């Protein structure tokens, strides 16, 4: 059994790059945590409505904030969404009835042009509709699917959101609430 002198290591100060790598790792971890938290959040259901620019199928460009002073109904839909077919005639009918008092905007989510235009023709939709290019609007509103409808008061604040197809009485109640809001 040998017994000998041995050298043992001692702690020394760490180099600068070590702290750089640690800081970078923490930043990445923080970004991943933020992304995870964001993915777990539901749709925006209160507070100021995220502003957006939409290019309509007619080639016009509209901005949500341009309608400040008028209540707005934003409906997310898609031509492949069968539930959207249920509420499409009701939305058009209600738009025609409240035209001038309430603005309607249709946002086409993850769709292709031809079926989208067929959908518009089929229900003779006359309020402005356009494709959500790059999913920027649906990401801003954090929609969970389609159909989904946001009700924005005349001050640009989200009054509420409806997930799924709207029914006649329900939409009528929303119209009254939007018009009563100062």
Minimum separation from the CB atom of position 106 to another protein (A): 17
Q: Which is nearer to another protein, 42 or 48 (CB)?
A: 42
Alpha-carbon gap, residue 157 to 23, rounded angstroms: 39
> How many angstroms separate the most distant Cα atoms in the chain?
100
Q: Which is nearer to another protein, 15 or 69 (CB)?
A: 15
Minimum separation from the CB atom of position 81 to another protein (A): 9
Q: Which is nearer to another protein, 11 or 180 (CB)?
A: 11
Minimum separation from the CB atom of position 97 to another protein (A): 31
C-alpha to C-alpha distances, 40 to 85, 122, 135, 137, nearest whole angstrom: 29, 36, 18, 18
Residues that bind another protein (CB under 8 A): 1-10, 12, 14-15, 17-18, 20-21, 24-25, 28, 78-80, 110-115, 131, 133-136, 139
* E strand or H helix that includes residue 89: helix 82-98
Given a contact cutoff of 8 angstroms between Cβ atoms, the answer to whether 149 and 175 are in contact is no
Minimum separation from the CB atom of position 156 to another protein (A): 25
Given a contact cutoff of 8 angstroms between Cβ atoms, the answer to whether 107 and 133 are in contact is no
Q: Which is nearer to another protein, 17 or 182 (CB)?
A: 17
Paired strand residues for 54: 62
């Amino acid at each position: 059994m040998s017994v000998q002198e041995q050298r043992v290591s001692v702690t020394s100060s760490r180099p600068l790059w070590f702290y750089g790598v640690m800081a970078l790792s923490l930043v990445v971890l923080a970004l991943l945590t933020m992304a995870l938290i964001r993915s777990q959040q539901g749709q925006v259901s209160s507070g100021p409505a995220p502003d957006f620019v939409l290019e309509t199928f007619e080639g016009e460009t509209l901005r949500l904030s341009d309608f400040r002073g008028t209540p707005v109904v934003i409906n997310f839909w898609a031509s492949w969404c069968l539930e959207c077919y249920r509420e499409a005639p009701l939305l058009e009918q209600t738009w025609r009835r409240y035209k001038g008092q309430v603005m309607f905007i249709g946002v086409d989510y993850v769709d292709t042009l031809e079926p989208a235009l067929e959908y518009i023709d089929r229900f003779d939709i006359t309020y402005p509709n356009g494709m959500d290019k790059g999913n920027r609007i649906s990401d801003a509103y954090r929609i969970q699917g389609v159909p989904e409808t946001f009700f924005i008061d005349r001050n640009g604040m989200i009054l509420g959101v409806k997930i799924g197809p709207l029914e006649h009485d329900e939409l009528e109640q929303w119209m009254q609430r939007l018009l009563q809001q100062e």
